[in-house]
Amino acid sequence: MANASDPPDRPTLRPDPRPDLLSLVPEALDHALAEHFRSRGQPAFRATQVRKWVYETGVASFQEMTNLPQEERDALEAAFRLEAPEPETVSRSADGTVKHLWRMEDGELIESVLIPTPERLTLCLSSQAGCAMGCTFCATGWGGFGRQLTTGEIVAQYRGSRAWAEAHDYGPIHNLVFMGMGEPLANRKAVHPALTILNAGLGVGARRITVSTVGVVPGIRELAARPEQFGLALSLHSPEEALRAELIPLEKRHPLPEIMDALHAFRDAGGRRITFEYTMIRDVNDAEALAPKLAARAREVHAFVNLIPFNPIPDQDWLPSRPERVEFFRRTLDAAGVSVAVREPRGRDIDAACGQLRANALVELEGPRRKRGRARGAKVAGAPAAGNGAEG
């Protein structure tokens, strides 16, 4: 017998056997299209036409590829698919921040956020539906873990957000940050090809792409081994191991000394930017004695530090640090020669911090059941990339 608190039934979807073109790295995409058109007796330039539609124009369906004959569009649709999630909601803040809540084919909800400033437009991408990492300060973790995203679902967030930005006079996307829902380096099977597609296929410079992590050491080392100079952001939140373990369960598996060793390897790979994300929570991790310790950690790997006011989440009564304490941290870091910025809260009127919009939607859909799931999820070792106050 169904419980009144259970969520509405979702239809069971059979996996689509067609390859998703957005999940193929450029070389594999070219090969698949060349083979497809060769088998149909079509000229080789057809593959180039489709590649341009996929990478340059961001069409949502094969039927929009208007320079192909109708029978070729139909044949492409029969042979392949093109990931294009529907926006469940699009929320625009008074400060210009825009959050998309995307509904996947199986009903999962994920978020991406466009963050405009006078200098650039940044897109914050999600790598998982929810998060299993259990950070105590994070709205994404509170909402529980749904599943890993596919490469195509990650890339589709960029294509969909780019199309929206162009249609609404936001201009081109300059920076990409994997700081949305989920821990990117816990989904390396999808994130690594997504990085290749975004860089080599869609033309986003590697130095304009940043991957955030709470300290998945094998993933940091794998990213360091890549030839591209992607940036790395560590969700630090405490320079002390014991306090960090209270905030981020993954600290128990990969303690700070191990993480710092991996960051040295990343830095030594050459010219790669490291950022420390530090969510400031009143009377939790903002003691004055922590500021010089944070400075020492940052100086060790030449990291830039973002100080981030805490964003409230359900079932947690913490508050953001007082402005004077944030300023004390900023001054201490600056005096130690550490590059530092205080990140201004963006999009609070639309729940733009990572996971907040999805969490609210899940509360409406699932009520008490989601709270029980969050309590279980908190026991899982790990933490989300930047579920509170990062770019997303």
Q: Is 27 a catalytic residue?
A: no
Q: In terms of DSSP bridges, do strands 121-124 and 340-342 run parallel, antiparallel, or are they unpaired?
A: unpaired
Residue 342 phi/psi, 5-degree rounding, is -100, 115
4 CB-near residues (< 8 Å, 6+ apart): none
Q: List, in order, residues 6 or more apart from 245 with CB less than 8 Å away.
A: 251, 252, 255
Written as one letter, the residue type at 240 is E
State yes or no: is 111 an active-site residue: yes
Question: For residue 265, which of 223, 236, 233 has the smallest C-alpha distance?
Answer: 223
Q: How many CB atoms lie within 10 A of CB 4?
A: 7
Per-position DSSP letters for 292-308, written without gaps between them: HHHHHHHHHTT-EEEEE
| CA–CA dist 182, 179 (Å, integer) | 8
Strands (E), the chain: 86-92, 98-103, 109-116, 121-124, 128-130, 145-148, 175-178, 209-213, 231-235, 274-280, 304-309, 340-342
CA dist 218 and 199 (Å) reads 22
Catalytic residue among 72, 83, 111, 183: 111
Bin 144: left if φ > 0, else alpha if -120 < ψ < 50, else beta.
left
Q: Residues 124, 131, 138, 354: which is the catalytic one?
A: 354
User: Looking at the DSSP assignment, which residues form a beta bridge with residue 280?
Assistant: 309
103 Cβ contact partners less than 8 Å away, ≥ 6 residues apart: 85, 86, 87, 88, 109
Q: Which residues are catalytic?
A: 111, 354
